[in-house]
Amino acid sequence: MKELWNRTFELFRRNIVLWVPCSIAEILMLGLGKLESAEIHWLVRIFATKHSVLGGEVPSTDFALAQHRAMMVIYPSSLLKYVLEVCIFVVALAATKNLVHMLLNEQTPDMIDAVRRILPRSREVLLLTVEYIAVLAIFGGVLIVIGSSPLTSKRIHEIVLSKPFIYVFGLVGNGCLAWLLVPGAIRLLQPQGTPMISTEGRRLGTALRSGLRHPQWRWNMSLVKLRAA
């Protein structure tokens, strides 16, 4: 493990290009956030404005209804935005792995070529994205149901909504997330036709993912890709 950490640190210290995929993913995510904010303001303005029969525009008297209509449009687009964000980071993960392979093979790192090599694995990228979101949705749904269900007592609601419970629940969720997704992530980073990940490898990946506890795959990228290499 120590050797793996040292190799990771040295690669990222000596090769700035390895920071490019994740940096681009961050920039794209910020851009999507700005685009979503602009969309919200635009939709609210559209639904809060009425057209007069005499020409021109007048503000709506029912602003709450305008907000409700805007939210009905925003919710699906927000879900699509989140799916796109996760997919972008999965692509960044795979692109970083390709750059690492180029460096280890003493080739000149090429960002465009690193992304191009992902295209034949598009199905695996999409599958890993869907699995990631599905697992998060299940755990988030369980937390919401327990915290808001009228069948649970007020005391349970208070416990579920407390910070210690949320932290512990998040830790357990990250562990389960790693257990389910790390094998798929490693398969994505390995050449096609590579044998399935072993139980030992799954346990190691789970331990690494649980220790880092990051939902966006940003901190564990270097560890997984080097193990796949």
Gyration radius of the chain over CA positions: 22
| More confident: 224 or 158 | 158
Q: What tens digit of pLDDT does each residue of 24-79 get? A: 999 998 998 888 888 888 887 777 776 655 555 556 666 677 777 777 878 888 88
Q: In sequence order, what are the beta bridge partners of 57?
A: 51
Q: What tens digit of pLDDT does each residue of 92-109 get? A: 988 988 888 888 888 888
Q: What is the DSSP string of the chain?
A: -HHHHHHHHHHHHH-GGGGHHHHHHHHHHHHHHHHHHHHHHHHHHHHTEEE-TTSSEEE-S-HHHHHHHHHHHHHHHHHHHHHHHHHHHHHHHHHHHHHHHHHHTTPPP-HHHHHHTTGGGHHHHHHHHHHHHHHHHHHHHHHHHHHH-TTS-HHHHHHHTSHHHHHHHHHHHHHHHHHHHHHHHHHHHSPTTPPPPPHHHHHHHHHHHHHH--TTSSSSHHHHHHHH-
**In the Cβ-directed half-sphere of 147, how many Cα atoms lie within 13 Å?**
15
| pLDDT level of residue 16 (50, 70, 90 thresholds) | confident
Q: In sequence order, what are the beta bridge partners of 94?
A: none
Question: Domain map of the chain by residue range?
Answer: 2-228
Rounded Cα distance, 223 and 58, in Å = 57
Rounded Cα distance, 41 and 195, in Å = 50
| pLDDT level of residue 222 (50, 70, 90 thresholds) | very low
The token pair that represents 158 in the structure block: 């208070």
Q: Angle of helix 199-212 relative to helix 221-228, nearest 10 degrees?
A: 160
pLDDT above 70 (res 181): yes
CB 7 within 8 A of CB 226: yes
Rounded Cα distance, 25 and 23, in Å = 5
| More confident: 170 or 91 | 91
| pLDDT level of residue 214 (50, 70, 90 thresholds) | very low
Give the CA angle between residues 25, 17, 202 to the nearest 5°.
65
Taking the alpha carbons at both ends of the chain, their separation in whole angstroms is 15
pLDDT above 50 (res 216): no
